[in-house]
Structures are given as structure tokens and as C-alpha cells.
Structure 1
Amino acid sequence: MTEDETTGDELVVAGGIGEALGAVIAERVRDFRQDRGWTVGRLADESGVSKSMLSKIENAQASPSLMTLVRLSEALTVPVTAFFRGLSEEQDMVFVKAGKGLDIHHKGSGPGHRYQMLGAMRAPHDSLEPMLVTLTDRSEVFPLYQHAGTELIFMISGKMEYSYGSSRYVLEPGDSMQFVGEVMHGPGELITLPIQFIAVKSVHPGG
């Protein structure tokens, strides 16, 4: 089964950081595919991502979702972070006006859960990925995640239970957590809505 542009599980390229991300990802995906001598159809078969979506990605008309990036990285045998290499060469500073962050839609999150990327700076030593997360509706199940590097969470409003490994922590405004990303983690019970927090990931290149 392939993923196409109608799933809603994609980053929408809409100026500023969206254009920068879209252009860099487009070039990286195309380069990795051509290095292997693959056609778009071959990459579609290997990754399970539709040819129409791949065409949009390689032409910077849409950026792939996090799940699509994982599928492409597995098919091309490169780390997910490889798709972002070169971003800092084009954009050394990111300024995002209030409410203008790049919206990211996660599968299974449902309506009322908003993820806004506030930047994606890449540097020789590491990379920072700040995101504003807004939860305005309860979800039946929140998927747990794991990733390379570390993550910092700072609560702005609301109250929630956050899972980290086998532990549970109740977070309220002003609370913060910093942890190693390889351990499974993610929101658990949403106690007081709306909930808003900032999540910042720090990842070493190639990690």
C-alpha cells in the first residue's frame, strides 16, 4: 500500500521555513535516488510512497511527513537527518512570526492537536528542532516515540501526564523535562486542556 497526497500526513510548504525545508529535502531525496540509479517508480516500490507524492517531494511542492521520511530513509539506507543536510547553508537564521510556524500533522493525533515547527537549524556540531505543540482535544491513544539525541520540554499552559520509559510525570505550567530521546516517550493523559508546550530536539548530524 502506498502513501499518497490525500492522506493529510505531510508537511505543507507555505513560505519561510517551509520553503527552505521543502527545497533541501527535495534535493536530498533526488540525489540519493539518482546515486542509486533508481527511477521514481523504483523508489516508490521500495518505500511504499506513491509516485505522485514522490514527484511532489522532489519538485518541492510538498514536504514529506515524518513517517514518509522514515520510509524513504529505510529504502535509501540513509539516516533521516541526511535529508536535512545543507539547510544551514541556505538559511543561517530562522525568524517565525507568531502563529506562522510550519504545521506538521501526525498520523493518529486527530483534530485539536497542533504541531508547529519553529525552526530546523543544522550546524556541523548538532541540530536543534524547536516545536510548539498545542493540544485542544483529548485523543484515545497517543503514540510513544523515540529518536536520536536529547529533547527538552517546557510547559506553557494546561496539565498533562507525560510518559518516559516506565515512568509517568505530571507537567504543569513552568515545569520542564530534559531526556535522552532513545527511550520511548510521549504525552499520556491530558488532564487540563488546552495544553501548550515547547519541545526542542537536539540531534548530532548523522544520528
Structure 2
Amino acid sequence: MSTLAGGFFTMDIGAIVSKNLRKIRLEKGFSLTKLSELSGVSKGMLSQIENNGTSPTINTIWKICAGLSVPYTALLEGRVETTKIIKKSAINEQKSADGHYRICCYYPDSPHHNFELFQMELDKDASYTSVGHSKVSREGRSEEYIMILSGQLTLVVGGNQLILNENDATRFDPTSKHIYQNSGNHILKATIINFYPV
């Protein structure tokens, strides 16, 4: 089973992440050293990201957000939320290193709702490993919901393997490593919701 490396952001997203990382880190009173200890991301890498000197991978963003105890999309704030149709073509797509795994965030976590909504695509014969992500509150842990729009997904999580086909859905604890595998004959398309209890 081949596993893709983490994804990367375009420079536009990199600039947004850079600005928000510094803002949130300082608001929490964390030094780069402290955040490095909490996230497992090196101090040098954090410094490069804050200075927009490197494009952070998807999994690096998850690790930083876990260290900051914020949702994934907290580092992507700056996108305008209005009541209108959201076109996929207007969203900054995030990709894995070789482009086989792609996600588009239609709705980031915000004070108005405690979830993130993504569309995910995974090419035929490809897989992607998420390092795990969470946001814990007094009400409990986060949950990930996934619904297959087209294709077949083999999901490996918590020692279990689930095979989901078109129109199938499941939910799971995303706090540990989980693997998405395209086990179908075409591009896999799915909707993913990360829910955060408040």
C-alpha cells in the first residue's frame, strides 16, 4: 500500500497560514519553542512557515493546529464568508505532494458553526494517510463524517478497515492516524465534515 506524503498549499494559502499562525501563537502566549514541543513540528519549520518561507503540508497544518488546540481551518481564516453560492473554482485547492489527494474547504470552522466542510478527491490506485487531528472540549472529542459521492473508499482507522461505496457514509474518531484508499476503478469523490463539540 503506497502512502502519499503530506500535501502542500499554494502561495496564497501559505501567506494566509503565515499570518494566522503568528497571530494565534502570540495570542496564546506560545514561543516557537513551546509550540514546537506541543506540535512536534520543528522550531525551524515553524519559523519558516511564519515568515512565509515554505509551503506547509496538510499534515504539518494538522500537527500545528493540534498543538494550538484549534481546528484545521483556523489557520485558513481570511476567506470571506457571505451568503452566496460557493464555486469550487473559487476555492484554493490543497493537494498532496504528487497531487493524487485533493481537498477543497467550502466552510471553515467559525464562531457561527462548529464544523468544517470539505470535498475530497483521490485518484485511482492512490492512498493518503492523515496524521490524525482533534479538537477537545468539555463536551467531548471531534468526529469526522464522510459520505461517498462516487467511487469506492477503503478507510483504515483504529485497526478497522471499512469499504464504502457510492452513497455510503460513516463517522469515526479522527484523533489517530487514518488512511483513505481509493479501491475503486475511478476517481473517488467524497464529502468530509469535521465536527467539533462546543
TM class by shorter chain equals 0.5 to 0.7
Residue pair 1:102, 1:118 contacting (<8 A) in 2 also: no
Is 1:195 equivalent to 2:182 in the alignment? no
Counterpart selection for 1:48 from 44, 49, 52:
44
**AA in 2 matched with 1:138:** D
1:41-97 alpha-carbon deviations (Å, 9 max, x no partner): 99899523175542228xxxx9744333355457xx522439828959x74657421
Task: Report the Cα distance in structure 1 between the residues aligned to 2:61 and 2:187, rounded to whole angstroms.
Answer: 30
Runs of 5+ consecutive residues of structure 2 not aligned to the other structure: 135-141
Residue pair 1:103, 1:116 contacting (<8 A) in 2 also: yes
- How many residue pairs match? The answer is 183
Q: Flag the structure with more relative contact order, 1 or 2, with Cα contacts below 8 A and sequence separation at least 6.
A: 2
What is the Cα deviation at residue 102 of structure 1? 2.4
Task: Report the Cα distance in structure 1 between the residues aligned to 2:99 and 2:108, rounded to whole angstroms.
Answer: 25
Counterpart selection for 1:66 from 47, 55, 58:
58
**AA in 1 matched with 2:59:** M
Rg: which structure is higher?
A: 1
Counterpart selection for 1:146 from 112, 132, 147:
132
Runs of 5+ consecutive residues of structure 1 not aligned to the other structure: 1-6
1:78–1:135 CA distance, 2 compared to 1 (3 A): closer
Task: Report the Cα distance in structure 2 between the residues aligned to 1:82 and 1:178, rounded to whole angstroms.
Answer: 18
- Normalising by structure 1, we get a TM-score of 0.64
Counterpart selection for 1:10 from 8, 11, 29:
8
* Helix, strand or coil at the partner of 2:88: coil
Counterpart selection for 2:170 from 154, 167, 177:
177
Is 1:97 equivalent to 2:87 in the alignment? yes
Residue pair 1:131, 1:198 contacting (<8 A) in 2 also: yes
